[in-house]
Amino acid sequence: MRSSTLIQGYQNDTNSLILRRTSASFPFISFILFVLINILVILFVPVDNFPVLLSSILNLLLITVFVFVHFKNSPYSISNATILGFFYSFFWLAPYIQLTNRRFPNTMPFDDELIILTNLVITLFIFAYCFTRFLLKDYRIVPFSSHHLNIEPSTIFLKAIFLISILISFLLLPMVIKLFVNREWLIEKQSLSLIVRNFLFSIPTFPIFYLSTYKSYFARKLGAIKYNMLLIISIFMLLLFANPITGKRNLIGPIYLSVLFLWLRSKKWLLHSFFIIVIVLTVLFPLTKSFTHSSLTIGSFSKAFLRMESYNIYKELQGLDFDAWSMLMAGIDYIRKYEITYGRQILGVLLFWIPRSQWTNKPVGSGHLVAEKLLMKQYAMWFTNLSFPLPAEGLINFGLIGVIMFAIFLGVVSRYLDTLQNTEGYLRTLSIFTAFYLIYVLRGDLMSSFAYYVGRILGMYVVPLTIKKIMRAILYDYIAR
C-alpha cells in the first residue's frame, strides 16, 4: 500500500509535469516566428498550380489555427504538441517542398487531382482530430485506477531490477557486439528482431526511466554517490541496448526524447515542445540517418561525417524519410484502382503476434501492400519497406469513415495521455514515452509501429511491474510468518 510518507518522498518529482488548465504565458515570439517562416516558404518556394497551392495553404491555415489553440488551451500537452508537430512537418512542410519537384519520394508523378484529394483527406483528418481534442474539451476522460498499475519507488526493487538488467546485459552482449559489427545479422531474422530488439533489449533500459522518474527520492534514499553510480550504469545500458548507431530511429527517438523531458522538468520546455518536435522531425530526424544503421568501423564513421557535411535540409525534405504524405496519395490511388480492405489490414495489426506459418494469408503491412500491388507495378518504386500514415490506414480499411474514426481515436488517445500525464509516478513516464512514440504511429505503417510498441512496453513496463508484484508478495509472506 502507498503511504503518505512515500507520496511525499517523490511528490517534488511529479508536481513539475502536472497538467493544468492555465493562463501561462503564450510563446508569442516563437509563434510569430513560426508564422513568418511559413510565409517565407510560400513566397520563395513557388507552386505554379493554383488549386494545388490553395489546398496546401488551407491545411497550413488549419494547422496554424490549432497550434494557436494548443498554446491557449493545453500548452503543456506533450501528446498534442507531438501530433501537431507531425502534421506540420510531414503533412505540410515536406510535401509543399516536394510539390516543386513534380515527383514524389515514392516515385508517384505530379497529379493535381490526386494531390488535391490527398490534401482534402488530410484536412478532414486534422479537423476530426482537433474537434475531438479541443472542441470536446468539456468531456472529461476519467482515468482507470492507477494504484495497482503504477511502479512506485523502492530501493529494494531498484537493486533487484538492476541485478536482473545487468544479468540480461551480459547474456545479450555477444548479440550486441555482433550488431555493432554487422547490423544486417538481425535484420535478416525479422521475427527474432522483433522479440530481441523490442522485448529483451528494452528490459535493461528500464532503470534509466525508473531513476529519472523518481530522481529526488532515490538521490535522498541512496545518497548522491550511489545514485550517480547507478545513473551512470543505467546510461551505459541505455546506450548499449538503445543505440542510435544500430537501432531504428523511429524506436530510439522516443526513448531519448522521453529521458530528456524527464530531466528537463521545466514548464518552459513543455511550453515550447511543439517547436522542439518540429526541429527534431525536420532537422535531427534526417540528420541522424548519417550515423544510424552504420557499422562500427572507421570507414563507416568517415562516410557518416561526409554525409553530414553535405547535409541539405531542402533536399532531405524531398527524400524517402518524408514519404508519409505521398504514401497517403498512393493509398488514395490504390483504393481507386482496387478497393478498400474492409478492416482486413487492421485485423493484421491486432493479430500481428500470430506467426505467418500458422496464418498463411496473414496481411502484410499496408505500406508493403500498396508498394507491392501499385507502386512497383505501375510506377518506379523498387522496394516495399515504406511508411503508411495513420489517415491512409483509416482510408484503406474503411474509406473516408475510417479516416474520421482513426482521427477521433487519436484525439481520445491524446486526451487520455494528458490524463496520465496528470497522474503520479511511472505511469506519467509511460505517457510521455507514448506521446513521443505517436510520431512512429502517425508515420506508419500501423502494423510495424504497433508491434514494436507492444514489445517495448512489455519490456519497460509489464516485466518490471510483474517483478515488483512478485517481490511484494514474497516479502509480504516472509514478514507475515
Alpha-carbon distance of 60 to 78, in angstroms, equals 21
pLDDT at residue 115, as a whole number: 95
Condensed to tens digits (0 to 9), the pLDDT of residues 110-143 reads: 999 999 999 999 999 999 999 998 776 666 565 5
Q: What 3-state DSSP class applies to 22?
A: coil
Query: Using an 8 Å Cβ cutoff, are 437 and 249 in contact?
Result: no
The answer as to whether 10 is a domain residue is no
**What range defines the domain where residue 474 resides?**
27-481
| Per-chain mean pLDDT for the chain | 84
- C-alpha closest to that of 423 among 153, 146, 82, 148: 146
Alpha-carbon distance of 300 to 461, in angstroms, equals 35
Percent of residues, the chain, with pLDDT higher than 90: 50
Alpha-carbon distance of 68 to 39, in angstroms, equals 16
The answer as to whether 21 is a domain residue is no
To which residue does cell 555477444 refer?
Answer: 174
State yes or no: pLDDT of 479 exceeds 60: no
Alpha-carbon distance of 444 to 367, in angstroms, equals 8
**C-alpha distances out from residue 74 to 71, 181, 230, 279, Å:** 6, 45, 35, 20
Angle at 463 between CA 457 and CA 464, to 5 degrees: 100
The answer as to whether 5 is a domain residue is no
**Count: domains in the chain:** 1
Query: Residue 432: which residues within 8 A CB-CB, separation 6 or more?
Result: 17, 78, 258, 261, 262, 421
**Averaged over 132-159, what is the pLDDT?**
75
pLDDT at residue 294, as a whole number: 52
Query: Using an 8 Å Cβ cutoff, are 216 and 13 in contact?
Result: yes
- C-alpha closest to that of 157 among 480, 463, 478, 423: 463
State yes or no: pLDDT of 422 exceeds 90: no
Q: What's the whole-model pTM score?
A: 0.88
pLDDT at residue 246, as a whole number: 72
Categorize the per-residue pLDDT at 309 as very low, low, confident or very high, splitting at 50, 70 and 90. low
In terms of pLDDT, which residue wins out, 143 or 366?
Answer: 366
Query: Using an 8 Å Cβ cutoff, are 56 and 122 in contact?
Result: no
The answer as to whether 54 is a domain residue is yes
The answer as to whether 132 is a domain residue is yes
To which residue does cell 517495448 refer?
Answer: 456
- C-alpha closest to that of 307 among 283, 290, 282, 293: 290
45-49, 84-88, 166-170, 215-219: range with highest mean pLDDT: 84-88
Query: Using an 8 Å Cβ cutoff, are 313 and 319 in contact?
Result: no
Alpha-carbon distance of 441 to 139, in angstroms, equals 25
Condensed to tens digits (0 to 9), the pLDDT of residues 226-269 reads: 999 999 999 999 998 888 777 777 788 899 999 988 887 666 66
Alpha-carbon distance of 11 to 424, in angstroms, equals 8
How many CB atoms sit inside 10 A of residue 464's CB?
22
**Averaged over 389-400, what is the pLDDT?**
96
State yes or no: pLDDT of 13 exceeds 50: no
The answer as to whether 4 is a domain residue is no
The answer as to whether 14 is a domain residue is no
Categorize the per-residue pLDDT at 3 as very low, low, confident or very high, splitting at 50, 70 and 90. very low
pLDDT at residue 188, as a whole number: 47
Q: Pick the range with the lowest mean pLDDT from 16-20, 107-111, 199-203, 355-359.
A: 16-20
Alpha-carbon distance of 94 to 202, in angstroms, equals 32
State yes or no: pLDDT of 204 exceeds 80: yes
The answer as to whether 299 is a domain residue is yes
Peptide bond just before 138 cis, omega within 30 deg: no
